Structure 1
Amino acid sequence: MFRSSLPTLALCLATSPVAAQDEVFQGTRDAEPLERVEEPSWSAEIELGMVDTSGNTNTNTTNGGATVVHERDYWRHRGEISALRAREEGVTTAERYTAAAKSDYKFRPRDYVFVALRYEDDRFNGYDYRASEAVGYGRKVLDSDRFELDAEIGAGARQERVEDGEQTNESLGRLAGDFRWQLSETAKFSQTLLMEVDGGTYTRSVTGLSARVVESLSMKLSHEIRRNTDVPADTKDTDTVTSINLVYSL
């Protein structure tokens, strides 16, 4: 399942520069002046999805999250939280909470350095918690009204504790990509990919398609794949979530 997301990302990376050649690369040399955000700007998105069935089978699944972005001067700060909970016949079958934060400092029009923090508490993956910290370099490969692509490389550390209490602390390498395609005035496509490599490889891929319903409200279809090559015994290495959420933008 994880491999199925790679062709999608590869296709985006391969075709978007061709489709947007004129508008993306015109006047995008690093000789451009470095723009400073004089007035602080805030933006936020809150999303929520729920599925409830009753009758022969009683199930309830809830997922949601929030993203906040703050920009000022040459800085961009981004914070995210998300939660997923599923119950079947009164028994919890999935429960996961994630928090992430990242700060970017732009030192050239398309280049920046970043610090990223991430914490995950998944009650059904064999770990009590997993946390990581990374620093590195990022570049805005595409930047236009329709196409945006950020690529990042970095290094850091990861701490984790399995359910039996054993703790580990290892160094890691980090690769990330964030692609956004404005399909129309009301619809957009997004693809993010995160890879953290230490003794094993943790990968998170999220593919999204959203359409605006009214001015601040959108419907979003997303498919998320999480894969960890190094998992405790009797634990599956891949989790997937497909959801349709309401998204409120601030």
Structure 2
Amino acid sequence: MKKLLTATAILLATPFVAHAGADFVKGDRTFAADAELGATVTTGNTETTSLKGRLDMKHELGNWENQYLLEALYKEDTGEETGKRYYGLVQGNYQFDDVNYMFANANHEIDPFTGFDSKSTVSVGYGHKFIDNPKTIFAVEVGPGYQYKRLDEESRLAAGYDSEQSWVAHGVMNFETEISDNSTFKQLFTADYGESLEGRSETSVTANIAGALAMKFAVVVRYNSEPLDNKKSTDTETNMTLLYSF
């Protein structure tokens, strides 16, 4: 755990240290963000609540392209909590040229319904943009990483240990393209392979409503090749949210 915290601190500090120097020399910055919110509430014979929020921020400064992502999901059915997930990510990309870059990534997830209190991963590696034009982006990232997972109390008692940690091979494939002047299709695959294979796929279509406001439909699939006892390998999530860009 100490190794993970040290690596995370270095990764988080690197983009900001580089930013200070780049800002002094160039001073050319751009910032963009997407905020999403979706909710479903039913009352009467069936009482359910579902909330989904997401804030995705991107910052360009000199040779650095950085992303800061926050996600939250909460579900309740007849007064009983049936889903809860919080996720945060920070990634800094240092551009060697228009298509090649080095990345440093740190992310943390809290999802008690998987049997883990939390999961943290740090990774570094190489990225390449195979396509990068105003309408389409196709990029791939690969590199080594380190993962730490802390079991919840029930899982600790059953397994007889507190945590799992391992080196992983980290990979990302990101594809985005404009379907029309008012709609965009996105496909994101993320995978970490160590003692087990953990993957995440997000497929989404965004359609503009008016100005900076859009409607987003997304299907998220999470996979773990070796889940804890009494847990399923695959989780799916379907969302319809409003998205505001600024």
Range of TM-score over shorter length: 0.7 to 0.9
Q: Deviation of residue 146 (structure 1)?
A: 1.6
Please say if residues 176 and 194 of structure 1, whose CA atoms lie closer than 8 Å, have aligned partners that are also in contact: yes
Q: Deviation of residue 145 (structure 1)?
A: 2.1
Superposition map of 1:38-187 within 5 A? 39-164=28-153, 165=156, 166-187=162-183
Q: In the alignment, residue 47 of structure 1 is paired with which amino acid?
A: E
Root-mean-square deviation (CA, aligned residues, Å) is: 1.3
Structure number with higher helix proportion? 2
Please say if residues 155 and 172 of structure 1, whose CA atoms lie closer than 8 Å, have aligned partners that are also in contact: yes
Work out the CA distance in 2 between the residues paired with 1:138 and 1:234. 37
Q: How many residues are treated as equivalent by the alignment?
A: 215
Q: Deviation of residue 38 (structure 1)?
A: 5.8
Unaligned runs of 5+ in 2: 1-25, 157-161
Q: In the alignment, residue 193 of structure 1 is paired with which amino acid?
A: F
Work out the CA distance in 2 between the residues paired with 1:176 and 1:106. 17
Work out the CA distance in 2 between the residues paired with 1:117 and 1:78. 11
| Alignment partner, residue 239 of structure 2 | 243
| Alignment partner, residue 195 of structure 2 | 199
1:101-142: CA deviation from partner (whole Å, max 9, x where unpaired): 110001122100000111110021100100000000000011
Please say if residues 162 and 232 of structure 1, whose CA atoms lie closer than 8 Å, have aligned partners that are also in contact: no
1:205-244: CA deviation from partner (whole Å, max 9, x where unpaired): 0000001111110000000001111221111121111010
SS at match of 1:183: strand
Please say if residues 112 and 152 of structure 2, whose CA atoms lie closer than 8 Å, have aligned partners that are also in contact: no
Work out the CA distance in 2 between the residues paired with 1:127 and 1:237. 14
Q: In the alignment, residue 43 of structure 1 is paired with which amino acid?
A: A
1:66-105: CA deviation from partner (whole Å, max 9, x where unpaired): 0110001110110101011000001100001000111000
Q: Percent identity?
A: 28
Q: In the alignment, residue 150 of structure 1 is paired with which amino acid?
A: A
> TM-score under structure 2 normalisation?
0.85
Q: In the alignment, residue 173 of structure 1 is paired with which amino acid?
A: A
